Structure 1
Amino acid sequence: MEKPERMQWHPVFASALRLELRDYEDALDIQEEVQLTRKPLEIDLLIIRKKRDVPILKNIAEIFREHNIVEYKSPEDYFSIDDYYKVKAYAYLYKTLGREVNALPVEELTISCVCSVFPAKLAEYLERVHDVLLEARHPGIYTAHNRDIAMQFVVVDELSAEENRFIRLLTRRSDVKKEIASLLKEYGEHRKDSRYEMLLDLVAETNIKQLLEVMGMSRMLKPDEEQAVMEFLAKFEIDKRLRREGEARGKLEGKLEGKLETARSLFAMGMSMEMIRKATGLPEEVLAELESDPDRGEH
Structure 2
Amino acid sequence: MEDISTKKTIDNIQEGSNTVNVSDQKRIQWHPAFVAAMALDVSEYRENMTFISEYELNRKPIILDLLIIKFEGKNIRNNSIASFFKGHNLLEYKGVGDELNINVFSKGLSYTYLYKSGETSSDKRPFEEITLSFIREAKPQKLFETLMNYKFSVDHVTDGVYHILNRELFDIQIVVLNEISFEEHPWLVSLTKKLSIEHAEKLLNMEYALKEKEDKDNAEALMSVVMEANKQTFYDVKGVEENMANKVMWEIMQPEIDEAIANAVEKKIEVIKIKDAEIADKDAKITELKNMLFQLGVQLT
TM-score range, shorter chain: 0.5 to 0.7
Contact 1:116–1:171 (Cα < 8 Å) also in 2: yes
Partner of 1:188: 208
Matches within 5 A, 1:105-124: 105-124=126-145
For residues 113 and 159 of structure 1, what CA distance do their matches in structure 2 show? 14
C-alpha distance in 2 between matches for 1:222 and 1:111: 46
| Matching residue of 2:179 | 158
Using a 3 Å threshold, how does the CA distance of structure 1 residues 62 and 190 change in structure 2: closer, same or farther?
closer
Q: Answer yes or no: is 1:201 the counterpart of 2:224.
A: yes
Which residue pairs with 1:72 in the alignment?
93
Q: Tell me the TM-score normalized by structure 2.
A: 0.56
Q: Which residue in 2 is equivalent to 1:138?
A: 158
> Structure 2 vs 1, CA of residues 48 and 102 (structure 1 numbering), >3 Å: closer, same or farther?
closer
Checking the alignment, whether the CA contact within 8 Å between 2:76 and 2:82 is kept in structure 1 is no
Kindly indicate whether the alpha-carbon contact (under 8 Å) linking 1:134 and 1:145 is maintained by their aligned counterparts in 2: yes
Equivalent position of 1:81 in the other structure? 102
1:24-63 paired onto structure 2 within 5 Å: 40-52=61-73, 54-63=75-84
- Sort the Cα spacing of 1:92 and 1:202 in 2 relative to 1 into closer, same or farther, 3 A: same
Q: Distance in 1 between matches of 2:208 and 2:73?
A: 34
Larger Rg: 2
TM-score after normalising by structure 1: 0.56
Q: What's the CA shift for 1:53? A: 5.1
Unpaired runs of at least 5, structure 2: 1-57, 247-301
Structure with larger RCO (C-alpha < 8 A, sep 6+) = 2
What's the CA shift for 1:219?
8.0
Alignment of 1:231-246 (within 5 A): none
The C-alpha deviation readout for 1:139-166, integer Å capped at 9, x for no partner, is 1111111242111001111111111111
Q: CA deviation at 1:200?
A: 2.1
| CA distance in structure 1 between the aligned counterparts of 2:184 and 2:243, rounded to whole angstroms | 20
Distance in 1 (CA, whole Å) between partners of 2:135 and 2:110 is 17
Unaligned runs of 5+ in 1: 1-36, 224-299
Partner AA of 2:209 in structure 1: E
Identity of aligned residues (%): 29
Distance 1:64 1:79 in 2: 21
**1:197 to 1:102, Cα distance in 2 relative to 1, 3 A:** closer
Aligned residues: 186
